[in-house]
Amino acid sequence: MPYTHRRKVMFKDCDPARIVFYPRYFEMLNDTVECFFDKVLGCPFERLHDGHAVPTARIDTVFTAPSRLGDWLDITLTCRRLGRSSLDLSFVVSCGAEQRLNATSTLVHVGPDGRPVPWAGDLRNALELAVKGTD
């Protein structure tokens, strides 16, 4: 089940040419992950990060067109694969009909010591449903 987060490109996101400075896209992708965990999985980061975390272990990105100040971006996240302690995601960022970037990433569920721990309980169940919804 894809999740879409809509966001306006703000002045703070742009370089002097008024296009999105590429590292800001990674912040936007992370914001989308955080909203997905809260709104779809029912696990807001303030609760998840009380003893656990989900750092990004890998991210591959292809930039296809620039985004400009004032553009409205639709950032669509899709869960692709759920592992014991990992989660593979894909993202498509678009403005209207124009794709601006696509990315794939892997999150790893870690404990307080930074080592991988299995997804468990309600969170694992919600992730399984999210992955199944993409079939």
Q: How far apart are CA 90 and CA 63, in angstroms?
A: 14
Q: What is the pTM of this model?
A: 0.93
| DSSP reduced 3-state for 70 | coil
Distances, alpha carbon 101 to alpha carbons 43, 55, 61, 96, in Å:
27, 21, 7, 13
pLDDT digits (tens, 9 = 90+) for 50-62: 999 999 999 999 9
pLDDT digits (tens, 9 = 90+) for 26-51: 999 999 999 999 999 999 999 998 99
CATH number of 3-132: 3.10.129.10
